[in-house]
Amino acid sequence: MPIRGATAISCPNIAFIKYWGNRNEKINLPENGSISMNLAELYTRTSVEFDLSLPADHLSINGKLASGPILKRVSDFLDNVRRLADISAYASVTSENNFPAGAGIASSASAFAALALSASTAAGLQLSEPELSRLARIGSGSACRSVPGGFAEWYAGESDESSYAVTIAPPDHWNLVDCIAVVSESHKPVGSADGHTLARTSPFQEARVTTAPGRIDRCRNAILARDFEAFAEVTELDSNMMHAVMMTSKPALLYWLPATLTVMQVVAAWRRKGIPAFYTIDAGPNVHVFCEENDAPTIFRRLTEIPGVSRVIIAHPGPAASLIDPACKEGG
Ligand code: PMV
């Protein structure tokens, strides 16, 4: 087999209705469905080459050679691609992010969406969008939502075949802005893979999961109707519910820092005063503050003034994962 390569680019996504806990950990079948938005300005760019002369898979992330558990996770993922394509060659994988990994901006989502597209293409497969979303899901659950563009809903499904994400509205549907208040850029102590396993130890998980379909409907309807107030209410509630599960699992997971709570309180106070903004937080201390484009300059400035916020990253609704020309050095 000659060397076959492909390069893909994918945005991370931020969930409005969160995924936390699996029914099947091996293939990341979630306990509940979820809704998210891709983040346009942030990206992972990944090139994959299958080469029969390689003695093992080879992985470089942001210019550094990876080994140990990270290499194993990628190699295990590539085994799925090799199985689907019926090939045996090892691969050389080169990946770059333009944003901090492991700090609550889901780097594993863009990483596995870009890897699923580049590896499957390099292996000669031509997968449909749902098939690609399913493949990405096996690498990291939330990665299935980075495959389709704009606002995405991940159907929890009953099986591998029925658990994938679709676009519910394209990126230009709503001029929302995610102002990410960065309060720490260090790697989180407990990654989401271990966190999903702990979810079932919280007495609140069952209540969160059984009430998730109602929040999904409210969130989808709010997005489709561009109803900011309803969207704000259901998204903050869902984020708080996931963090309540995290804090009450055994052992307890507390991802917040003092500055996280300050931003949450400040944003809630702004909304009470009529400034339309809301927060949502993933498995990390950084706070995603959402507003509409007109309010973004004010929100951005006010966030940068909060003690403990080191910088604010701006992101708009982003596109689907796509193949790019490997010679192209930029993200878009
Ligand atoms: O895909 P994972 O295993 O990194 O899980 C993501 C979990 C959260 O980011 C906390 C929530 C979500 O739905 O993205």
C-alpha of residue 303 to centroid of ligand 1, in Å: 24
CATH classification of the domain holding 66:
3.30.230.10
Which of these, 206, 98, 112, 203, lies nearest to 165 by C-alpha position? 112
Q: What CA–CA distance (Å, rounded) separates 291 from 176? A: 6
303 and 215 inside one domain? yes
pLDDT in tens, 150-190: 999 999 999 999 999 999 999 999 999 999 999 988 777 77
222 and 298 inside one domain? yes
CATH classification of the domain holding 247:
3.30.70.890
104/249: higher pLDDT: 249
Contacts of 298 (CB under 8 A, 6+ apart): 275
Name the residue of 22, 105, 192 to mutate for ligand 1: max ligand atoms within 8 A of Cβ.
192
pLDDT in tens, 31-49: 999 999 999 999 999 999 9
164 and 179 inside one domain? no
Mean of the per-residue pLDDT values of the chain: 94
Q: What CA–CA distance (Å, rounded) separates 273 from 267? A: 10
pLDDT in tens, 236-245: 999 999 999 9
**98 in a domain, yes or no?**
yes
Residue 332: predicted pLDDT = 39
Among the candidates 172, 203, 230, a domain finishes at 172
Determine if the peptide bond prior to 326 is cis (ω within 30°): no
pLDDT in tens, 59-108: 999 999 999 999 999 999 999 999 999 999 999 999 999 886 655 566 89
Q: Does ligand 1 have an atom closer than 6 angstroms to the CB of 282?
A: yes
Which atom of ligand 1 lies closest to the CA of 18? 13
Instruction: Report DSSP state, residue 255.
Output: -
Q: How confident is the model at residue 202 (pLDDT cuts 50, 70, 90)?
A: very high
**329 in a domain, yes or no?**
no
Q: Does ligand 1 have an atom closer than 6 angstroms to the CB of 22?
A: no
Q: How many domains does the chain have?
A: 2
Residue 18: C-alpha distances to residues 15, 214, 245, 271, 314 (Å): 5, 13, 11, 22, 21
Q: Per-residue pLDDT averaged across 13-28, rounded? A: 97
